[in-house]
Chains A and B, each alone.
Chain A
């Protein structure tokens, strides 16, 4: 079955960096666009970034553009999110999700990893 498992979350100081990983299994990873979504404590869902199957195409929400970088390693069935210049408002649970591009939906999600930005 499809499984997505995020890792790499934790406590980081403002201005710091963190790299999140998402390990995928149960489906042909290289055939799917992938995405990151976050949810601040008690708040709603915010789409952050997507990456195409080969990594040639990416896009970012304005809130993270220039600070976050999405990437993937199809040989390792893994998705990444490099987060730099972190701010307190980046504190959230970060989810990776598989994108179903025909539907324009996120059909499978990981359980999320918590990132806390605090001094």
Chain B
């Protein structure tokens, strides 16, 4: 079973700063099936990035994804107030899905 480990668990940043979130897989995963989601309190998750680097419909270009193999990154270039949330990476493979444990981006 492939495990996704996200780091850090929590990051404290100010609006306008850059956020770099990491997702590391325990084995090589296909970039085609690596996604990122954003979840705000009391809300359902929202798809941000698919295929490791493609933005989902309506996602601002301050969100970008990169990586391959076992190491993937979500970058938020300049944090807006609405970006403070929890972010999850997700992997699809062999008829199942796995989520990372999440990274909380909080206001400093």
Chain A positions near chain B (C-beta within 8 angstroms)? 35, 37, 44-47, 50, 57, 59, 61, 95, 100, 103-107, 109-112
Tell whether, in the assembled complex, residue B44 and residue A112 are in contact, meaning their CB atoms are under 8 Å apart: yes
Identify the interface centre among B39, B44, B96: most chain A CB within 10 Å of its CB: B44
Query: Any chain A CB within 8 A of the CB of B63?
Result: no
Q: A95-B45, A105-B90 are in contact. List 16 more A-B contacts (CB 8 A).
A: A44-B99, A44-B100, A44-B102, A45-B88, A45-B90, A47-B97, A50-B97, A57-B95, A59-B95, A59-B96, A61-B96, A95-B44, A104-B50, A105-B50, A106-B37, A109-B44
Report B76-108 CB contacts with A as 1/0, cut-off 8 Å.
000000000000101111011111111000000
B47 touches A50 (CB 8 A): no
Contact indicator A111/B96 (Cβ below 8 Å):
no
Q: Are the CB atoms of A111 and B32 closer together than 8 Å?
A: no
- For residue A61, which residue of chain B has the nearest CB? B96
Q: Is the CB of A111 within 8 A of B44?
A: yes
User: Which residue of the partner chain, among B88, B92, B100, B101, contacts A104 with CB atoms under 8 Å?
Assistant: B92
